[in-house]
Chain A
């Protein structure tokens, strides 16, 4: 791994995004708009909005970065640019960290803007500090990125990659406790939710919002970090120097 090459890769990924105004606008603007929508869907039920608002701020980057990364990596694979890189003196880690760095930066902008809208304009009220929500949001962006990177290896077309979102992301959101608390779900579903990474990401956000900053939160953060590392290692094995 070479810092120069990692940074060059991050800069290149950001440059690609900068040329794609629409994607950038969608990534940055859709979360605050959806959150505003939520506020008025739960009109008159402030306690519901307060319960799910903060976790949502932290979950949006997971969804965006999962999608953006899986499509971006799929393009690298199908356009031949990955094959070019693999025949050049670049380490796989340079590619992974380059993408990670670039997308975390975008996710931070997204999370900060969403928080400003949520706390500043939508009167979202949480006991915990907003900065912690933003920090966890950045972590969730990395989680989405690493899972998207790994799963992109199993898609042959962009159609397939986009369908991974309802296939892998939506069930995790449904089971994480956002709609119904996990202990109120059928027991089997609760067990399943125990092995899904978003469950821990969501719990961490809930704890942070409740200002319950302690051992449980640290444990959740540790699980999420572990999954990120695992997905990156698995993702690295899908970046092959030689292919058939």
Chain B
């Protein structure tokens, strides 16, 4: 699916993984998290081979579809993941607040909206204060205010030393990242900061830049 690919991601910054649906973003992300069967090649994450046991404490992973128990409340979900990670109950409350779900803590996840469910999933990944946070399209279906708040939170996390890898197919989110990786049909089309990519393609708009780079590739 993803034929050949070589990529370095800087730590302590937000890297955006951008590309259309079906471009291989999720496969790449799953390979980094270590849940994807990889045919060949080496992936090193935080100095360890991807998928190694030590990394399971250091990576927070948010899948595209919210992977939480829909028949439990928000808090019951987080309590369970907290006991797996061995973190305190106070951390659960912090994670719920971080994704602005304080008012829904005792609500069954099934009764929440799609956007709220994906925030429960995000809160679960924040619990263990991971060194690397891998998010697969975390802002799909969220209202603009919440999207801005989440990106502000991602920025705070990065400022605090967390490495973030965030996939998106929305080009207007690209400007909020430090580094961009543009993928198309399983290949990396371009890498660089948003400013660099603009300069390289002589365009103002990142969408235009993507088009220029995709057509040149």
A contact residues vs B (CB 8 Å cutoff): 4-5, 8-9, 11-12, 15-16, 19-20, 79-81, 83-90, 241-244
Chain B residues touching A, range: 20 to 34
Identify the B interface with A (CB < 8 A).
33-38, 51, 53, 56-57, 59, 61, 63, 65-72, 76, 80-81, 83-86, 108, 124
Q: How far is A69 from B181 in the complex, measured between Cα atoms in Å?
A: 42
Contact B56 A83 (CB under 8 A): no
Known contacts A83-B63, A84-B67; A243/B36 CB under 8 A: yes
Pair A15/B35 contact, Cβ less than 8 Å: no
Q: Are B72 and A15 in contact (CB under 8 A)?
A: yes
Residues of A within 8 A of B80 (CB): 8-9, 11-12
Query: Cβ of A4: which chain B residues have Cβ within 8 Å of it?
Result: 83, 86
Q: Are B68 and A81 in contact (CB under 8 A)?
A: yes
Contact check: which of B59, B65, B71 meets A20 at CB < 8 Å?
Answer: B71
A15 and B76 in contact (CB under 8 A), knowing A84-B124, A242-B34? yes
Chain A residues contacting B59 (CB-CB under 8 Å) are: 87
Contacts of B35 in A (CB 8 A): 83, 86-87, 241-243
Interface of A is mostly: helix
A235 to chain B, nearest CB (A): 19
Task: Tell whether, in the assembled complex, residue B65 and residue A80 are in contact, meaning their CB atoms are under 8 Å apart.
Answer: yes
A89 to B56, CA, bound (A): 5
Q: Within the complex, what minimum Cβ distance (angstroms) separates B55 from chain A?
A: 9
Give every chain A residue within 8 A of B84 (Cβ-Cβ).
5, 8, 85, 88-90
| A176 vs B61: C-alpha distance when bound (angstroms) | 47
Min CB–CB distance A103 → chain B (angstroms): 16
B121 shortest CB reach to chain A, Å: 8
A243 to B57, CA, bound (A): 20
* B residues less than 8 Å from A19 (CB atoms): 71-72, 108
